[in-house]
Amino acid sequence: MNFMNRAWLYIIRKKGKSILLFIILLVMATFVLTALALGNASKSAQEDLRKSLGGSFLIGFDYTENNPYLKVENVEGGTLMYSTQQISPELVEQIRGIGGVTDCSATVESLAAFSSLELFTGNIPIEEEFRKSSKILSTWKSEELTRFTSGQLTLTEGRHIMPGDKNKGLISKDLADKNDLKVGDIIHTDRGVDIEIVGLFIPKEIEQINDQVTTYDKIQNLVIADLITMVDYENGPAIQGFNELMVSVDDPQNVEHIISKMKEISDVDWKGFSVLTDNENYENAASSLKQLSELVSTILIVVLIVSITILSLILTMWARSRIHETGVLLSVGICKLSILGQYIAEVVIIAMLAFSLSYFSASAIAGQMGKTLQSKQAVTEIQQEDGLSAGIRGEAGTDSENQEVETPELQVTVHLQEMGLLFLIGIGIVTVSAGISSSSVMRLKPHEILSKMS
């Protein structure tokens, strides 16, 4: 009779011990499987969160003495500070080509006079010379402009500003209706730079009547144009490129890697720029998920250690009570290796059944724990809502003001992957425990076994 048959007969004969061992292994397997399911759910939620939030970093002029290209000039009405090394469209295109970069919102902003336009009037008094002025926001590609990607602005007619455009612009539909303009018409600046309207946008929100805002700051008066338009209008060294670039990436964890790849671009002196990262929203929203991952890892380690310890103690006591059986088996010529195989097989057979049934108990517990953790997480999000709504402010500081960050739903389910890992870990624990517990008896020589039996 081989050791597997002997193991099965022993399990049937010793029903009390078998049932007790089954219950112990079922409880341990349930804890391990629940921890594995929670861990994988947490990792999946973090991946979903990274995809939904992304990450970003801001490139701008370094306005300190560390910038060798910084210029300060006294002009009429104040001081003009600018950098002679600016962000060129070619540099933006190179950064946009780095793997993991999703959007490049390159901008430079200035005031322009439009005497021929009837603007929406603000409620803050301004000097006469600025009453017919509005802001021009020049960009590399308007569809990647933060104002559009954040949903603050939506293109409703025409097309976006594209790299290579010259004297093309977008205006609000409200401004177009007010001045009886349409896509294809020309708007004229007071410096002779004409802008062809290629698209119309509508803002998600406009300033309320009680909001304190100047005429040139009203969102309905904003003109979005290509870089050449701004360079031609300013006609000076202060604006020859973009002065700010917001780079959005697909994964917040890749921000530092992308920045290092960006700084490998050799034809740029990065001493003239400062780089600010913005992963605060992701870090805040993911903090609870990271804490859960750490907790699950700790629980899993503790469960494994406790499982090995308890199993080893129980099996060791049972092995010592089987000295007589071991002696009989040795006396009929069965080798120690076969006897050890029987003892391990007994535990493994029971463990296989316990591990299989733990799927149902772990699924029920894991699902309930997921709901509980999700409800606690929702309370935390409400408490942190004000903190999560603040991020790096894009153009003119209006893009992130009302941003809401929602942590992905924590779907805790037991999958085949966790079951496979449970069997791998569990069988390893059972084998080690059974081997350790039986080793003390297996080391005994036949005459020592006989003396203990007597």
The predicted-structure confidence for 342-397, as pLDDT tens digits, reads as follows 888 888 899 899 989 988 888 888 777 766 665 555 444 444 444 444 444 444 44
% of the chain with per-residue pLDDT over 90 = 37
What pLDDT does residue 210 have?
A: 76
What pLDDT does residue 61 have?
A: 92
CA 256 – CA 142 distance, rounded (Å): 26
- Tell me which of 116-120, 234-238, 362-366, 442-446 is least confident: 442-446
Residue whose C-alpha is closest to residue 223's, from 137, 139, 323: 137
Instruction: Give 154-193 pLDDT, tens digit per residue.
Output: 999 999 999 999 999 999 999 999 999 999 999 999 999 9
What pLDDT does residue 55 have?
A: 81
What pLDDT does residue 6 have?
A: 83
What pLDDT does residue 185 have?
A: 95
Instruction: Give 228-253 pLDDT, tens digit per residue.
Output: 999 999 998 999 999 999 999 888 88
Q: What is the DSSP string of 295-341?
A: HHHHHHHHHHHHHHHHHHHHHHHHHHTTHHHHHHHHHTT--HHHHHH
As given in the structure block, the two tokens for residue 37 are 């399911």
Please check the confidence at residue 94 and state whether its pLDDT lies above 80: yes
Question: Please, what is the Cα angle at 103 between 97 and 104, to 5 degrees?
Answer: 80
Alpha helical stretches, state H, 384-415 = 385-388
Residue environment code for 109-126, b if the CB has 16+ CB neighbours within 10 A, otherwise e: beebbbeebebbebeeee
More confident residue, 139 or 444: 139
Phi, psi of 308 (to 5 degrees): -65, -40
C-alpha distance across the termini of the chain, in Å: 27
Residue whose C-alpha is closest to residue 444's, from 310, 348, 340, 342: 340
Please check the confidence at residue 114 and state whether its pLDDT lies above 70: yes
Please check the confidence at residue 34 and state whether its pLDDT lies above 50: yes
pTM for this model (two decimals)? 0.65
What pLDDT does residue 286 have?
A: 62
Q: What is the mean pLDDT of the chain?
A: 82
Amino acid at residue number 166: K
pLDDT-derived band at 111, boundaries 50, 70, 90: very high
Task: Provide the CB-side half-sphere exposure for 182 (13 A, CA).
Answer: 0
Task: Provide the CB-side half-sphere exposure for 431 (13 A, CA).
Answer: 7
What pLDDT does residue 345 have?
A: 86
Query: Mean of the pLDDT values across residues 51-68?
Result: 85
Instruction: Give 254-275 pLDDT, tens digit per residue.
Output: 888 999 999 999 889 999 999 9
pLDDT-derived band at 408, boundaries 50, 70, 90: low
